[in-house]
Amino acid sequence: MPWLVGIDEAGYGPNLGPLVMTAVACQVPAARLAADWWHILQNAVRSQQRSDARMVIADSKQVYNPQRGLANLECSVLALLEAGPTTFADLLKTLSPDARQADEIWYRGTTRLPVACPVEVVARAASDFHSACERNELRWVTIRSVLIGAEEFNFLVDETGTKSAVLGHALIRLLKHFANDQTTSEALTFFVDKHGGRNYYAALLQEAISDGVIMVREESSKRSTYQLVGGQREWTIHFQPRADADHFCVALASMVSKYVREIWMNEFNGFWRRHIPRLKATAGYPVDARRFFAEIEPLCEKLGITKNRIWRKR
């Protein structure tokens, strides 16, 4: 059966915390490739914030904000993972085995999961979701994240002179994971949320995929589409704005990325607040990030932590 893959990120705008980009891949009958998955899985999922027990699948910005809380986002992500990880370290091992979180001075990995949603609610959502997927022959085969912390982020910006190169770097790492998978010959169809206003991706894709030639099928503000010619597997890659609103797997990728970043920021804030108990936590976005960094800067100097390891330049 062919694969449908959604890719999206969280954390491109902040000055503190990581950029997280995630690929969610599902093996699906060809007849269901163009189906409305919210409809066919409607007994287990909902697309909007309604007061029923189904798990929410939508753009992470619709599912989570600080006022709404983490519970709905957490329930859906852990249900997708079949409630497997019980700590932040487990979550990173599952999603990003090569993540360099050990380089972060604040990292412990001991945050217990779930944080906000009762275990029994996650378990029920996982059972309902995966039962509905099984009935519709949807098999989740890959959920993988790339995490880029401040130091690596700054290195990539310095090396290329542009912030957008960080998105390209993360995407290449995810695509290489699929390119190196020699266990199957099924066709791959990717839907990727557009990188800002960028319309041209052929060179970037070719860097990630050495097996065959990337051919341009469309490049416009509405959609950029590419096909791999001459490779062992058939690849079609679509970039479009707001892809998480139209494509189920992209919405899931958005949610996984956001959840990983939020748990990361919980541990990040916890480290600094152990040293400065009255320190107000931050989400890392520009205005509040400056306030937060000004408060921790004396401690950074005391601990020998350079600004480059904490503060993203752009």
Q: Take residue 307 and report the two structure tokens written for it.
A: 């600004």
Strand pairing category for 19-27 and 188-193: unpaired
Q: Which residues pair with 26 in a beta bridge?
A: 4, 140
For tokens 């060179």, name the residue: 203
Between 143 and 182, residue with greater pLDDT: 143
Between 104 and 11, residue with greater pLDDT: 11
The pLDDT of residue 135 is above 80: yes
The pLDDT of residue 200 is above 90: yes
The pLDDT of residue 211 is above 90: no
Residue 245's identity, in one-letter code, is A
Element (H, E) at 3: strand 3-10
pLDDT tens-digit readout, 221-275: 999 999 999 988 999 999 999 999 999 999 999 999 999 999 999 999 999 999 9
- Label residue 196 by pLDDT band (50, 70, 90): confident
- Label residue 102 by pLDDT band (50, 70, 90): low
Between 210 and 123, residue with greater pLDDT: 123
Average of per-residue pLDDT across 138-159? 95
Element (H, E) at 119: helix 119-135
Buried b (16+ CB within 10 A) or exposed e, 30-65: eebeeeebeebbeebbbbeeeeeebbbbbbbebbbe
Residues for the chain: how many in total? 314
The pLDDT of residue 50 is above 70: no
pLDDT tens-digit readout, 261-294: 999 999 999 999 999 999 999 999 999 999 999 9
CA gap 313, 304 in Å, rounded: 19
Average of per-residue pLDDT across 177-184? 83
Name the CATH architecture for the domain at 3-266.
2-Layer Sandwich (3.30)
The pLDDT of residue 95 is above 90: yes
Bond before 29 cis per omega within 30 degrees: no
CA gap 313, 226 in Å, rounded: 32
Q: Take residue 29 and report the two structure tokens written for it.
A: 């009958």
Show Cβ contacts of residue 43 under 8 Å, excluding neighbours closer than 6 positions. Answer: 54, 128, 132
CA 10, distance to chain mean position in Å, is 6
Q: What is the pLDDT of residue 100?
A: 74
Between 102 and 54, residue with greater pLDDT: 54
pLDDT over 90 for what percent of the chain?
84
Domain definitions of the chain by residue range: 3-266
Q: What is the pLDDT of residue 49?
A: 60
- Label residue 183 by pLDDT band (50, 70, 90): confident
Q: What is the pLDDT of residue 197?
A: 81
Average of per-residue pLDDT across 178-199? 88
